[in-house]
Copies of this chain bind each other. A is one copy, B any other.
Amino acid sequence: MKITKLSNSISLKRQLEGGNEEQLKTVRQVLQDVRENGDMAVRKYSEMWDGISLDDFLVTQEEIDEAVANFDEQLKQDLQEAADNIRFYHEAQKREGYKLSLPDGSWLAQRIIPLDAVGLYVPGGSAAYPSSVLMNVIPAQVAGVERIVITSPAGKDGKLPAAVLVAASILGITEIYKVGGAQAIAALAYGTETIAPVDKITGPGNIFVALAKREVFGEVAIDMIAGPSEIAVLADDTAFADEVAADLLSQAEHDALACAVLVTTSERFAKEVADQVEQQLRELPREAIARKAIENFGQIYIADTMEQAIEAINSLAPEHLEVVTANAEEDSLKIRHAGAIFIGRYSSEPVGDYFAGTNHVLPTNSTARFASGLNVDDFIKRSNIVYYSEKTWEENAPKIARLARMEGLEGHARAVESRGWTKGDE
């Protein structure tokens, strides 16, 4: 890993691949086709791209039961415990609206209402990501969303990975479709004969899925388009180099575009971590991917002071931050921009990816400056409510009419003035 003396503010912003014209054209065609031709189009593209031919997309209860029955008991327990932890953390985010009384019997209120229906896209491919099912579904359930749909491409055997079905089953989700790619996003956004449309689509996917989500945005809500994973570590010489190196690599193994940064006040520690990274890299199964990430987006910065180091972290606004310093909790309070913060030696970042209870869907590419991880509020909306009594109206109508006329909106003024005292008493 490159070691640099920290001077100016640093950045981990990367110019990310936004998909090319050709891909966008394909996605738009799929969206239109599914919008017009429904299931028939979904079937066509599933055959064309996933190589599977299905009469029925809906996973049957038998398939779910079979997956659950044959699944490793220990892993099932681990998933259940992770789900319980995630629910515990997110329950604290749930909130009620409010009602504010005004004089003369008037009141204002904010009502909080869960979305009617949301869809979660779970990517297919070589690995299964049950943790993604937990992290996306549980906040929606806590919010009170009634209909939660999962869609994911089936493998060549026409089945979904058992781990995904088990995770869904633990959460009580039964509406699961074997559809992937842009056609899945189209089906969720527009609906087909068998798949009713949803109000919001979340979950990661390949470039076609990401482009499709961007295209249907506005028609439905989407979560953020997730970029490659990032980890930053803030450490002094009280940290252990092998542990920090292992944590840096845990994110580097995700993606050749992943980003791993250490900011430390100790030159000795910087060198130890660089050595450890190289040593551990050689024994990592996903060495090729992790090595590319470390070479391209791995950096160790040496800061003169902890204050300078903290300022550098704030300029990064990383997705994940570990604070492994002598005063870790205190230092963490000075961090203004980070998706998630892991405090102290034993809070290794993967603890949050799987188990602690915090959400692992987090803002990347410096968007932690203004964005948050997935949370319960992502699955509700708010309505503003106004109730004005006659007396409140009478007192305030002249003011409102003046303000409207100042903006040149006579129709607004007349509307407010249209309530006649006398007429009401006729």
Binding site for B on A (CB under 8 A): 74-75, 78-79, 81-82, 88-89, 92-93, 95, 98, 100, 108, 110-111, 113, 115-116, 126-131, 163, 199-200, 218, 220-221, 225, 240, 242-243, 246-247, 249-250, 252-254, 280, 284-286, 290, 329, 332, 335-359, 362-363, 365, 367-373, 375, 377, 381-390, 392-393, 396, 399-400, 402-404, 406-416, 418-419, 423-424
Q: In the complex, are the beta carbons of B355 and A396 less than 8 A apart?
A: yes
B-chain residues with CB within 8 Å of residue A356 when the two chains form the complex? 108, 386, 388
Q: In the complex, are the beta carbons of B116 and A402 less than 8 A apart?
A: no
Q: In the complex, are the beta carbons of B403 and A75 less than 8 A apart?
A: yes
Q: Name which residue of chain B comes closest to A100, CB basis.
A: B92
Q: In the complex, are the beta carbons of B411 and A252 less than 8 A apart?
A: yes
Please, how many angstroms separate the alpha-carbon atoms of A389 and B346 in the complex? 6
Which of B79, B375, B408 is close to A382, meaning CB atoms less than 8 Å apart?
A: B375
B-chain residues with CB within 8 Å of residue A413 when the two chains form the complex? 350
B-chain residues with CB within 8 Å of residue A349 when the two chains form the complex? 415
B-chain residues with CB within 8 Å of residue A75 when the two chains form the complex? 402-403, 406
Q: In the complex, are the beta carbons of B386 and A382 less than 8 A apart?
A: no
Q: In the complex, are the beta carbons of B286 and A410 less than 8 A apart?
A: yes
Q: In the complex, are the beta carbons of A250 and B351 less than 8 A apart?
A: no
Q: In the complex, are the beta carbons of B110 and A92 less than 8 A apart?
A: yes
Q: In the complex, are the beta carbons of B285 and A386 less than 8 A apart?
A: no
Please, how many angstroms separate the alpha-carbon atoms of A386 and B418 in the complex? 57
B-chain residues with CB within 8 Å of residue A79 when the two chains form the complex? 403
B-chain residues with CB within 8 Å of residue A163 when the two chains form the complex? 406-407
B-chain residues with CB within 8 Å of residue A111 when the two chains form the complex? 341
Which of B116, B335, B419 is close to A346, meaning CB atoms less than 8 Å apart?
A: B419
Which of B108, B127, B129 is close to A358, meaning CB atoms less than 8 Å apart?
A: B108
Q: In the complex, are the beta carbons of B284 and A411 less than 8 A apart?
A: yes
Please, how many angstroms separate the alpha-carbon atoms of A129 and B390 in the complex? 27
Please, how many angstroms separate the alpha-carbon atoms of A385 and B390 in the complex? 49
Which of B89, B115, B390 is close to A108, meaning CB atoms less than 8 Å apart?
A: B89
Which of B88, B130, B240, B388 is close to A423, meaning CB atoms less than 8 Å apart?
A: B240
Closest Cβ–Cβ distance, residue A422 to chain B (whole Å): 12
Closest 4 interchain pairs by CB? A358-B384, A346-B393, A253-B411, A250-B415
Closest Cβ–Cβ distance, residue A57 to chain B (whole Å): 24
Which of B199, B240, B358 is close to A369, meaning CB atoms less than 8 Å apart?
A: B199
B-chain residues with CB within 8 Å of residue A347 when the two chains form the complex? 386-388, 393
Q: Name which residue of chain B comes closest to A198, CB basis.
A: B370
B-chain residues with CB within 8 Å of residue A390 when the two chains form the complex? 345-346
